[in-house]
Amino acid sequence: MNLLFGQILNGIATGMLYALMGLGLALITGILNIPNFAHGALFAVGAYLLVTVVGAIGNFWLGLLVAPLGVALLGIAIEYAGIRRLYAAGHDYQLLFTFGLALILNELIIVIWGPVGISHLPPAVLRGGVDLGFTFYPKYRLFVMAVAGLLVVLTWLFLERTRYGAIMRAGIENKEMVSLLGIDIHRLFTVAFALGAYLAGIAGALTAPIRGLSPGMGVDMLGIAFVVVALGGLGNLLGAIAAGLLIGVAQAVVAAYWTEASTAVIFAVMAAVLLVRPQGLFGIR
Amino acid sequence: MKQPLVLVLAAVVLLPLVVRHAIATEIWIFAIFGLGLNLLLGYTGLLSFGQATFFGSAAYVAGYLLKYYGIGIFTALGVGIGVGALSALVVGYLCVQRAGLYFIMLTFALNQLFYFIAYQWTSVTGGEDGMPGIPRPALLGIDFRQPLAYYVLVSALFLLSLWAMQRIVESPLGKILQAIRENEVRAEALGYNVPRFKLLAFVIGGAFSGFAGVLYAMLFGIVPLEAIGFVFSGNVVFATLIGGSGSLYGPIIGSLVFIWLSESVSVLWARWPLLLGVAFVIVVLFFRGGVVEAWSRIWRFSKRAS
């Protein structure tokens, strides 16, 4: 029973990371209306940047601050130099472009950091565990839960309580109207992509000390982010969180009893939900 | 006979004289795979990023039966068509209810489901090592282990597939699919059950993919894990788009260019996907419309110059 509780806690921690990925992807997909196949690669770049920064200056906190910002900058560059020219093109070309970017980033990771996985320790303060009464639980995972939770709340406050957040939500609903009201829609697209990339980057940076790094981590996460968006709905914050937690916990619980199936179960849960509710958990359409 | 068909026939005859038989065979197998995708992408307007699901599932099932139960070539191909169609029915049922970006993401996510099953079910699929030892059974005394004999068989089956696809897209069904591509709401208003027809396109496309998957497994004697992976799904989309998804012959030109290039470059450099990614980006930013359009643009330019 304690194993189960421990696994549910693990599931909540990874589920929060999945929610961050899905939230960023839902923003990009909802506002820019493109299939972002580079979202997983941005996640991986965040993790590798963290390890590089921490290796160079030996400070985890600075790494956690800088790495996602680096990914956000990369996101701005991608939107500005490439995606901006493709809004009028079909989804097929947008897909090829982001898929091509994902291949490039993935191969560059192999060229720069090597094809072999890297393990990375959490900072000294967060090593070891805490006694929660029913189980002994790693401090770092509690930290991840707290940071991811904080980020979700901050994103929610930004979208719901600020002027620019309101414009962003309006952008998901009706782009023409937003641009007719005199709002710079191109800047809105850039900001949305940068924010989505930032969330992917910080999810990657937070993941590094839990699972370690490998060039394949981006693709694995891409599929999961798609599942979160398909279940949660575009631009639906609550949906992304619920879907992230659902598959995170499902994966962790299955992993305790049948390790081999723990990744496949994510997609199986999605298939099962879509069978009952084709529009996703909270979707209207 | 129509001009493009003559060119295809000429290519079928000339190709084994220019490149290795294995590559020539792979080109036509990939073209069958592309024909199946193009029914969705070009004719129905459905961008499926999960075609490797059907390709790989069929290759695994037929490969397993070929290896352990010694079934014949045509039984294996029939099994491949069946498995491809059936897996496409399951995946398609979940996907066609959603449109646009959701549809694309769902095809990819379900591709990942099949991939991870193949990855973990090592006792059957061999996991990362793939499923080796798939035979090419002889038929009517012809030994298909001879590369040229297998090439002749595959190219004949490719021409048969091309003929079948042409019949499909020119049939009333093909016209309805194109109507859905052009204006879904209108097709619905005319009384067509749009999700049903999308699903049908999916199943037919899956059958072509499965057919190609079995030929692929017999060509290399192995079902590699990549055969069910997303990169394969992406490659067939790319090949179809560089050929031009607007015509029946687009995926054929695309796989000719794509397989030829990838087989020549990938042996030279292990980081070949990097070049592939750069190629995707350049083509999308500068040469949208594919080889056919790029060629006609160059042709127009040279005509104006003279």
Put simply, the answer to whether A99 touches B105 (Cβ < 8 Å) is no
**In the structure, what pLDDT confidence band is assigned to residue B217 with cuts at 50, 70 and 90?**
very high
A-to-B residue pairs, Cβ atoms closer than 8 angstroms: 123
**pLDDT at residue number A184:** 81
pLDDT tens, residue by residue, A174-211: 777 888 888 888 888 899 899 999 999 999 999 988 88
Q: What is the predicted ipTM?
A: 0.80
- A24 and A36 Cβ atoms separated by less than 8 Å: no
- B245 and B42 Cβ atoms separated by less than 8 Å: yes
Put simply, the answer to whether A29 touches B271 (Cβ < 8 Å) is no
d(CA B99, CA A73) in angstroms, rounded, equals 31
Cβ neighbours of A260 in B, within 8 Å: 120-121
Question: Residues of chain B whose C-beta is under 8 A from some C-beta in A?
Answer: 41, 47, 49, 94, 97-98, 100-102, 104-106, 108-110, 112-113, 116-117, 120-121, 230, 234, 237-238, 241, 245, 271, 273-274, 276-281, 283-285, 288
pLDDT tens, residue by residue, A83-106: 888 887 888 888 889 989 999 999
**pLDDT at residue number A43:** 95
Exposure string of A153-191, with b = 16+ CB inside 10 Å and e = fewer, is eebeeebeeeeeeebbbbbbeebeebeeeebebeebbbb
Shortest alpha-carbon distance between residue A108 and chain B (Å):
7
Strand partners, A213: A118
- DSSP string spanning chain A? -HHHHHHHHHHHHHHHHHHHHHHHHHHHHHHH----TTHHHHHHHHHHHHHHHHHHH--HHHHHHHHHHHHHHHHHHHHHHTGGGGSSS-HHHHHHHHHHHHHHHHHHHHHHH-SS-B--PPPGGG-SEEE-SS-EEEHHHHHHHHHHHHHHHHHHHHHHHSHHHHHHHHHHH-HHHHHHTT--HHHHHHHHHHHHHHHHHHHHHHHHHHH-B-TTHHHHHHHHHHHHHHHH-TT-HHHHHHHHHHHHHHHHHHHHH-GGGTTHHHHHHHHHHHHH-TT-SS---
pLDDT tens, residue by residue, B91-117: 999 888 877 788 888 888 889 889 988
d(CA A32, CA A26) in angstroms, rounded, equals 10
Shortest alpha-carbon distance between residue B91 and chain A (Å):
9
Residues 6 or more apart from B182 whose CB is under 8 A from it?
Answer: B45
Among chain B residues, CA nearest to A81 = B285
Shortest alpha-carbon distance between residue A143 and chain B (Å):
29
Put simply, the answer to whether B116 touches A271 (Cβ < 8 Å) is no
d(CA A158, CA B210) in angstroms, rounded, equals 48
Put simply, the answer to whether A102 touches B47 (Cβ < 8 Å) is no
Sign of CA dihedral B259, B76, B247, B104: negative
The model's pTM? 0.85
The phi and psi torsions of A118 (rounded to 5 degrees) equal -120, 140
In this predicted structure, the answer to whether residue B306 has a pLDDT above a threshold of 60 is no
In this predicted structure, the answer to whether residue B296 has a pLDDT above a threshold of 70 is no
Cβ neighbours of A85 in B, within 8 Å: 285
Domains observed in chain B = 3-305 (1.10.3470)
Domains observed in chain A = 2-276 (1.10.3470)
In this predicted structure, the answer to whether residue A278 has a pLDDT above a threshold of 80 is no
- B211 and B81 Cβ atoms separated by less than 8 Å: yes
**pLDDT at residue number A281:** 75
In this predicted structure, the answer to whether residue B84 has a pLDDT above a threshold of 60 is yes
Q: At residue A102, what is the residue type? A: A
Q: How many residues does chain A have?
A: 285
pLDDT tens, residue by residue, B1-47: 577 788 878 787 788 878 888 889 999 999 999 999 999 988 888 88
Considering only the beta carbons, identify the residue of A86, A227, A279 that sits closest to B284. Answer: A86
d(CA A32, CA A24) in angstroms, rounded, equals 12
Look up residue A44 and give its two tokens: 């991986």
The phi and psi torsions of A137 (rounded to 5 degrees) equal -120, 135
Q: At residue A197, what is the residue type? A: A
